[in-house]
Structure 1
Amino acid sequence: MRTLKLPPSLLLFLVVCVFLLIHFSQLSRPTQHGHLEKKTPRIALVTFVTEERSYLHLALKSKNHYCRRHGYDFIVDYEAHAERGTPWWKHAMLERLIKKGTYDWVWWLDVDTLITNTEIKVADIIEETLKNVTTPEEIDWLITHDCNGLNTGSYIVRAHERSVKLFDNSGAIRDEEVKKNDKHLSDQDALGKLFKEDAASARRTVQVPQWKLNAFPQEIACFDESKKVWEHGMFVLHFAGAWAHVKGEDPTGQLMRKYQHEIIWGDYSLFD
């Protein structure tokens, strides 16, 4: 019986074909319901805290629990070394993570927030938002507004070099204001000014309804155009500027403790 001998080049070609077939079948593997599995974006939730506060355990617990539930990374800095002032450290953190190339998106969330519904996936908010724009691949920033305009307590940034450039541009705006008027803009004010004055930067942003990503409680009535106050089942609760709205020695802590019983937790025993 004659043995069929394949040319080495043909054998190599067949091996490569088999490898590629296995590789791509794993990327788009059908689920038990017959649908194709979507590739899960790599997401990091980012915040910092630089001093003792009464509500830190609860604030950090809700974020850590959420990230454990959905497989996101939770990154916290406990020191800030920003030359422009502490609030600008968030830019340094996000730039550092973007340049690492580990993530697809980074989500900045101020520490004075609670994730009040841990069932909601921020990846789904990103996907739903980008479905409603004509050029989703060009959108790098998902932002929210309150009654005063841009609010950077909760925003999502695509981990792309374009985002780093935008951070640099907002810093340049702040430095120019200092040089001209001795005016020390916050990171939020500088970004807001950039989005208003630079059309190219504005085109890379999309505004998400405040209640979906950065809801305020009834005690802090500073809402965007939707005028929607936080209610049970919403995703994030932000106690921005609580000191200006609530009397007491610890306004943010008081509100945190009031709303902690509204949090929808997951089953921790099922987390990886």
Structure 2
Amino acid sequence: MVYLMGSPETSHRPLMRGSRRTYLYLVLAIVALLIMYNLPSTSYRRIPNYISVGALDFPTSPEELELDLQDTAPLAQPSVKTSPSPHNNKNEHTPVEAPEEDLDDEDEAGPINNSGHYNVLVVIASPKETISRRRLIREHYFGLRDNLLPCMRYDTNVIYKFWVYGGREKMNNDSLRKYAAERIEWDDIVEREDEVFEQWNVIKWAEEELKKEGITYNYLVLQDIHTFLHLSSIVFDLSEGVIGLGTDSPFQLDTEFPTDIVWGSFTGTSIDKKTLIVGQGAAAQAIEELPRYSEDQEPEHVFTQMYHYYTSQDEETREGPDFVREDGEDGTNRFNPWENSVESVHHEDVAVTDVYQDEEFRDLARWTYLRPTLVCHARRSASDVAPLHPIVDEDEPATDFNATDHRPAPALDNTVDSQPLSIAILTSSYVYPDLCMLDASYPAAQNKRDYALRHGYAFVARSLEFAQQGARGDRTPVWGKVDSIEKVLPKYDWVFWMDMDAVVMNPEINIESLLEEFERMVGGKEAFAEKHLIVAKPKRDKMINAGVLLIRNSEWSKRFIRAVNEASDYYTIKPSFEQLAMWDLMKSDEWRDGVLSLLNDDHTFNTFPNKYQPGYFVVHYAPDSCPREAVLRGLDFASRIAGGEKIMTLE
């Protein structure tokens, strides 16, 4: 069936609806009677508030009151279904309305999903240089405003990836550095340097390469970087099995083959790839049966060719997926180009293409009351401070509804022994202007991320704290380490800092076992509770090496880091900078007792390459010149060790 947007003549599986105004009067009358006679109200099924209230029709029967879609008998269907996109009357300009009720994050995220199979895979095709738009999409689509409490695993029913295509031609050195940091910090980018953005390339990647990684899906939502999706509505429709739920002409997915669906435009132009929703069944069919409808083995618009192939056949005998069209000429499409004002966007619209200004993307998110679609459950935070919320003036309309209110986990009592420790592996994602570590930065970060994933820790990489030193103007970027620790520490029980040029060689060693060893070293739990900073002073070194350190979330630590940050006499002292500031402060009477200094220690968690022995935990490459080659060589050693090879020396 081809379902053409808003066409009442087209055969489709309807949900019975009446006049919205009639229903409104009916409901108002019922409400008045309930008030007069104090009758108990009917129990309604809760509607998530990311579906616009204005898009919901008023029910007229008990079946509709329950919104039980399974009880609505579908009409008899031909073998190929082509239908118009569901939409309300094109002459009705219905503004977007605010959601009625608030769901907490736990309700929205749903149960924990560790299966590797997702109902919805969201793919955003993006050139490398569109860094700011990717930031907005993370924030408004998924509630990911920063990476302080990162998504280490996608454990809801939705997963997303940025499908980044093309080379570096349009990027200057500053952009390359920012892109490298972004890739490290979020790990949500799939690089396709030798490919162009076409439906075929994305589908082949999802069906072949992603599947090899153990990731499968029911529906793939594809967009280009300049499209705005009301993603929460799309995800809700696909979850409910009805496209356009709450519009005048909803389309019910085939209950037997729900993923045999292609929802998009079929014009044969670039419009077709700006927004597309395709079920896995239709995607697999597109690959397996390509020769049937295309002579081109890498077609530009594979689903448009599929559409024309099946719709050219006799209606009684043709086979193929359902097609929901968004390219009708009657003005009722739910995928529409941007018309330069939010007022042009109706409540039932779910895709707006050609949005080139970031501010307009933000305006659309606010105008449509877009709620984030959560892709992971909130990570436990050690913070005992509730987030600040703006004061709301009840006399003013809620035009500043915060669509990205992604609340952290509730404050936790870190003294409860049964509660697992909250630990972050913290590092730098800042690439210096000389681009020395540009190519080595990502694999170096992945070495640390893999370690964190192995033990259930957070992996946090920061670049902005290093970059902001330039705005200060009084100290070098290396001081970003101190700012990063100060920013991240309140979120966790312990933070394990590793310089970018430090490599995990033995991932079997976990932080908890180190803490137990340190307890024994100082004489037990009570004595260890007074130690807040653990750092090594290697043999023959004049001072500590702060390239790897372990710090506890405590008032002592916060005061100590603040003291280091304010040690202005050390801001420009080469070559040690913040390391010398730490060393001198920790030797003073005020701070000495809170530090566990691992004197003459070359093995516990900070080993130089020439001191390495099999089984050592972390090797810190700190050459006088660019560490790129040394780090890449160390990562190769780490990979060989993980593969079972016994490496005796790193020289």
Helix, strand or coil at the partner of 1:127: helix
Helix, strand or coil at the partner of 2:492: coil
Partner of 1:19: none
- Aligned partner (choices 616, 622, 639) of residue 240 of structure 1: 622
Name the amino acid aligned to 1:205.
Answer: V
Cα RMSD, aligned residues only: 2.6
For 1:202-237, what per-residue CA distance to the aligned partner results, in whole angstroms no more than 9, with x for missing partners? 21111233311011111xxxxxxxxxx112221111
What is the CA distance between 1:172 and its match in structure 2? 3.2
Are the equivalent residues in 2 in contact too, given 1:66–1:115 (CA < 8 A)? Answer: yes
For 1:105-127, what per-residue CA distance to the aligned partner results, in whole angstroms no more than 9, with x for missing partners? 00110010111111110121022
- 1:193/1:67 CA distance change after superposition, 3 Å: same
Aligned partners of 2:476, 2:426: CA distance in 1, in Å?
18
Partner of 2:566: 172
- Aligned partner (choices 605, 630, 637) of residue 259 of structure 1: 637
What is the CA distance between 1:176 and its match in structure 2? 3.6
- Aligned partner (choices 129, 135, 142) of residue 534 of structure 2: 142
- Aligned partner (choices 481, 489, 503) of residue 98 of structure 1: 489
For 1:141-180, what per-residue CA distance to the aligned partner results, in whole angstroms no more than 9, with x for missing partners? 010112322000100000112111111222333x1456xx
Say if 2:497 is the partner of 1:108.
yes
For 1:81-123, what per-residue CA distance to the aligned partner results, in whole angstroms no more than 9, with x for missing partners? 1333211111111111223xx3110011001011111111012
Are the equivalent residues in 2 in contact too, given 1:170–1:191 (CA < 8 A)? Answer: yes
Aligned partners of 1:42, 1:265: CA distance in 2, in Å?
29
Are the equivalent residues in 1 in contact too, given 2:570–2:580 (CA < 8 A)? Answer: no
Aligned partners of 2:500, 2:566: CA distance in 1, in Å?
26
Say if 2:421 is the partner of 1:41.
yes
Bigger Rg, structure 1 or 2: 2
Name the amino acid aligned to 1:42.
Answer: S
- Aligned partner (choices 463, 469, 473) of residue 78 of structure 1: 463
- Aligned partner (choices 454, 461, 469) of residue 69 of structure 1: 454
- 1:39/1:132 CA distance change after superposition, 3 Å: farther
Say if 2:590 is the partner of 1:200.
yes
- 1:242/1:150 CA distance change after superposition, 3 Å: same
Residue correspondence of structure 1 range 11-26 to structure 2 within 5 A:
none
For 1:40-76, what per-residue CA distance to the aligned partner results, in whole angstroms no more than 9, with x for missing partners? 3110010112224232232111111111010000000
Helix, strand or coil at the partner of 2:536: strand
- 1:126/1:210 CA distance change after superposition, 3 Å: farther
Q: Percent identity?
A: 23
Partner of 2:612: 230
Partner of 2:556: 162
Helix, strand or coil at the partner of 1:210: coil
What is the CA distance between 1:262 and its match in structure 2? 4.1
Are the equivalent residues in 1 in contact too, given 2:551–2:557 (CA < 8 A)? Answer: yes
Say if 2:501 is the partner of 1:133.
no
Gaps spanning 5+ residues in structure 2: where?
1-415, 645-651
Are the equivalent residues in 1 in contact too, given 2:428–2:499 (CA < 8 A)? Answer: yes
Aligned partners of 2:427, 2:449: CA distance in 1, in Å?
11
Name the amino acid aligned to 2:509.
Answer: I
Aligned partners of 2:517, 2:478: CA distance in 1, in Å?
30
What is the CA distance between 1:256 and its match in structure 2? 2.6
- 1:177/1:156 CA distance change after superposition, 3 Å: closer
Aligned partners of 1:233, 1:193: CA distance in 2, in Å?
32
Equivalences, count: 210
Name the amino acid aligned to 1:202.
Answer: R
Aligned partners of 2:450, 2:639: CA distance in 1, in Å?
15
Relative contact order higher in (CA < 8 Å, ≥ 6 apart): 1
What is the CA distance between 1:254 and its match in structure 2? 5.4
Name the amino acid aligned to 2:513.
Answer: D
TM-score by length of structure 2 reads 0.30
- 1:188/1:177 CA distance change after superposition, 3 Å: closer
Are the equivalent residues in 2 in contact too, given 1:139–1:205 (CA < 8 A)? Answer: yes
Partner of 2:578: 187
Are the equivalent residues in 1 in contact too, given 2:570–2:581 (CA < 8 A)? Answer: no
Name the amino acid aligned to 1:172.
Answer: E
Aligned partners of 2:602, 2:514: CA distance in 1, in Å?
12
Are the equivalent residues in 2 in contact too, given 1:232–1:262 (CA < 8 A)? Answer: no
Name the amino acid aligned to 1:259.
Answer: F
Aligned partners of 1:113, 1:265: CA distance in 2, in Å?
20
Aligned partners of 2:643, 2:581: CA distance in 1, in Å?
36
For 1:232-260, what per-residue CA distance to the aligned partner results, in whole angstroms no more than 9, with x for missing partners? 2211111012539x9xxx54345335523
Aligned partners of 1:259, 1:157: CA distance in 2, in Å?
28
- 1:65/1:49 CA distance change after superposition, 3 Å: same
Are the equivalent residues in 2 in contact too, given 1:116–1:235 (CA < 8 A)? Answer: yes
Gaps spanning 5+ residues in structure 1: where?
1-26, 29-37, 219-228, 267-272
Say if 2:603 is the partner of 1:211.
yes
Partner of 2:510: 121
Name the amino acid aligned to 1:169.
Answer: A
Aligned partners of 1:261, 1:91: CA distance in 2, in Å?
30
Are the equivalent residues in 2 in contact too, given 1:46–1:109 (CA < 8 A)? Answer: yes
Are the equivalent residues in 2 in contact too, given 1:117–1:265 (CA < 8 A)? Answer: no
Are the equivalent residues in 2 in contact too, given 1:55–1:256 (CA < 8 A)? Answer: no
